[in-house]
Amino acid sequence: NGGKLLLCDTLENFWDYDNSEFIQRHIARGHTMSKKHAFCMHAFVKNYWRPYWGDDTTIEDLTKPELDDFFFYLFREKGLAGETVNKVINSASRCTRWLYENNRIKINPLFGIERFKANHAERDIPTEAEMRRLLQLDWENPMALMAFKLGAFCGLRAGEISSLRVCDIDVAEGMLHVRHSYSEVDGLKSTKNKDKRDLPIDNVTTLQLMNHARLNPKFNELSYIFWSSKEPTKSTTPGYYADIFYLALEKIGISEAERKDRNIVFHSLRHFCATILAQRTGRNTVMTILGHRTEKVSEHYSDHDTKEKFDNMRNVMQATWDQYLSA
């Protein structure tokens, strides 16, 4: 190839988390890069770039008209959403930009490439009547129901639910410490906004979580609450909660077609939590519960102020739970 860089080989090596020069330098400079992100970018290369361009195309041979034809092909022929096509573009543009900035190539062929308009469908939430019916269901297992409640009434993300460990439950104080997130690729990692938050939970839920955790044959302070039955030292993957949630929706009469049309996903439970709490309390309390704050809570708060704040949060959340659980 005359010293030119093979397109797909270069892209795949660029997103090889353990061996990529770019990723190693990126992390060394104090930036973050999750294995999951690198894995997804690598998958875009393998699933879309290589089948279309083959093994012999070089980066130096790429032209903007050819690239535009490729992206239009993904959108029109492959039926990818505009947002997904943009991710395919990103899987290569970040690589070519880095190569250009480090004098590995003379021209960045993806510079200024036009992206697709992403049409973000508005996310819907279950109605209050639907939530009551979901709570009355005979769920597949108690763990699935607990995960559903943590999403709907505490606003936890799926990854945050999977990350919960025994040490994150304070039984005496009735507190839930949300310190991490979890993915099947990265395992335990920081939360989405790299912040931590404490949530007051009722005594019944606290005991349910701890009782389930104690069923783990590998139970200890660092074991997961939602442990995997196949590998007790690992957590249940976040995608499991969505699968069970969708089955529950079908049981109450919301078909797959309706669910997709309304754009109801597991994360919708977090939106439900925000909506319900916003009707009952102030914005600051909602931000604290959901972890949407942009600044960390001051470490200089007095114990009295902190306890008062948590007691208020607990009262609001408990009143909301009671409304649905007793319906």
Q: Which residue has the tokens 């783990």?
A: 216
What confidence category does residue 119 fall into, taking pLDDT thresholds of 50, 70 and 90? low
Structure tokens at 243: 């699968």
Q: What is the average pLDDT across 41-60?
A: 96
Nearest-angstrom CA–CA distance, 226 and 213: 7
- Model confidence pLDDT, tens digit, residues 148-164: 999 988 889 999 999 99
Asked whether the beta carbons of 16 and 1 are under 8 A apart, the reply is no
Query: Using one digit for the tens of pLDDT, what is the confidence trace for 6-19?
Result: 999 999 999 999 99
Map tokens 């209050």 to a residue.
128
pLDDT in tens, 176-221: 999 999 988 888 988 877 778 888 888 888 999 999 999 999 999 9
DSSP letter for 35, please.
H
Residue pair 67/73 in contact by the 8 Å Cβ criterion? no
Q: What is the pTM of this model?
A: 0.72
pLDDT for the residue numbered 292: 54
Q: Please give the backbone phi and psi of residue 173, each rounded to the nearest 5 degrees, phi first.
A: -95, -10
Q: Which two tokens stand for residue 306?
A: 């902190």
Percent of the chain with pLDDT over 90: 58
- The DSSP code sequence of 13-34 is HHT-TTT-HHHHHHHHTT----
